[in-house]
Amino acid sequence: MGRFTARPLTFLITGFGWLLLSSLVGLAILIGLVHGTPLPPWLRLVHVHAALIGGILQLMIGGLFASVSHTSKGDRTPSDSHPGLFVALNVAAVGLLVGFGFGNMKIVGAAGIVVIGAVASIAAVAWQYARQSLTQPAGRSWLYRFSLIALLGGLAIGVGMSFRLMPEFYAHARLLHLHLILLGFVTMAMIGATHRLLPTILNADLYSPRLARLVMGLLPAGFAILIGGFITSSLLLELVTGGLLVLSIGLYAYNLLRTWVGSGQPGNAASDHLMVATFFLVLMTITGVLVGANFLPQLPALPFGSLHLAAYTHIAMIGFILQTVFGALSYGIPEMLATSRIASRKKQEPYREQLAAIMDRWRTVQLTGLSLGTMGFGVLAAMTWNFPLSSLSIQIATWVTVGLLLSSLTLLATKLAWAFGVRPSD
């Protein structure tokens, strides 16, 4: 029996598998909530942590290793394989789910420590990769390093919560834990990666490297001030900082849009998903400010329940994060399969084009399903202000939303399996 290896593709496909499973759990939770038969509360924790630790974190680690390998001229060495890290990360993800399922926070805390150890084991690689970005015109190094620090901080707070080390500050710790990981790590890292990926996909230069550097400086600063608002419970500071983040994200979106328009390229599945993800990022940021403003004492507050919170969070989770994952995989999988299966760079191109054509199939259906399914959450939440959950209108909207999301997820999973099954011809 050969030795088990865990190369970047292994992390990417396993991470997507976790995302797929967590999405099914999330859709089941939505159906149960709307039908008045809510599933156990711990399933929500399972859904979120399966998506973030088993899915997103693993996908990002795979993307990091793939980028490092690419900058090393694509030479595959034994160091490209990380079986220990792969096993530790997935065992920790399972441990988190088991701990939440049985309500045993000690298991959750122990699994969190393993995740911290897994991240710490590659921190030097990630830090060095960020240092290499210092030579890039967009200046992403600070953003990457900030996201790594935010991840470690968010994980440490999560472990502290699990072991009840800060009971009197639990509410603040929970806010910090969520925002450090979702905004500080996931969002910042994906923004940095999109700045690099989109011009590469479009075979064009970034419209304004100077504007990109400005955004890369504003975003971490704005997020750090936002954290200060959470710690001090200052809603006004949070809203002012939210305005700064809206401006920064708007400039980021403008830069990418001008890059896309100026490229003259018709686009493909990868670029389409990344551009739509940018739209949802802008929408998510504006919605976050409006949600905060809804709690100002001077304004009449709209009713805001669990379904409204789910709609807001899934604008981020599906609209931005999952769209970005779809775009990155649509571009990255053909690239990685071509370089891993064919040694000659000259012979890689026809095979790469064949795989890219597979990933581009039915891209309109895939993009529309994911986008309209995301918007379906917002429609459902808005409808509850006028219709009861048991109404026929809500039930129809729920199943349409579920069907759209499932169709898009199934389509991408099918195309990934198809691409992996296509071998280079002799």
Single out the residue of 331, 317, 307 nearest to residue 382, CA to CA.
307
Instruction: Name residue, tokens 């441990």.
Output: 95
The pLDDT value recorded for residue 377 is 87
Taking residue 117's Cβ as centre, other Cβ atoms within 10 Å add up to 14
Question: For position 170, what pLDDT does the model report?
Answer: 82
- Do residues 294 and 302 touch, judged by C-beta distance below 8 A? yes
How would you class 128 by CB atoms within 10 Å of its CB: exposed for 0-12, middle for 13-18, buried for 19 or more?
Answer: exposed
- Which residues lie below 8 Å from residue 218, measured CB to CB, with a gap of 6+? 244, 247, 248, 251
Contact call for residues 415 and 383 (beta carbons, < 8 A): no
At residue 255, the pLDDT reads 95
The reported pLDDT for the residue numbered 77 is 45
Give the residues of the chain that fall short of pLDDT 50. 1, 74-78, 134-135, 137, 426
User: Which two tokens mark 70?
Assistant: 């690419």
Q: Map out the domains of the chain as residue ranges.
A: 1-121
Distance CA 323, CA 80 (A): 27
**Distance in angstroms (rounded) separating the CA atoms of residues 48 and 46:** 6
List helix spans (H) across 133-184: 141-162, 170-179
From residue 209, how far is each of 129, 136, 240, 257, 327 by CA, in Å?
19, 9, 27, 14, 22
Closest alpha carbon to 136 in 223, 216, 245: 216
Res 134: pLDDT: 45
d(CA 5, CA 3): 6
CA atoms within a 13 Å half-sphere pointing along the CA-CB vector of 168: 0
Rounded distance between C-alpha atoms, residue 112 and residue 109, angstroms = 5
pLDDT value for 330: 95
Q: Phi and psi (nearest 5°) for 74?
A: 70, 10
Residue 410, amino acid: T
Q: What is the pLDDT of residue 272?
A: 95
Using an 8 Å Cβ cutoff, are 115 and 155 in contact?
yes
pTM of the complete model:
0.92
Cβ atoms 8, 70 nearer than 8 A:
no
Q: How far apart are CA 418 and CA 420, in angstroms?
A: 5
User: In the chain, how long is the greatest CA-to-CA distance?
Assistant: 71
Euclidean distance between CA atoms 416 and 401, whole angstroms: 23
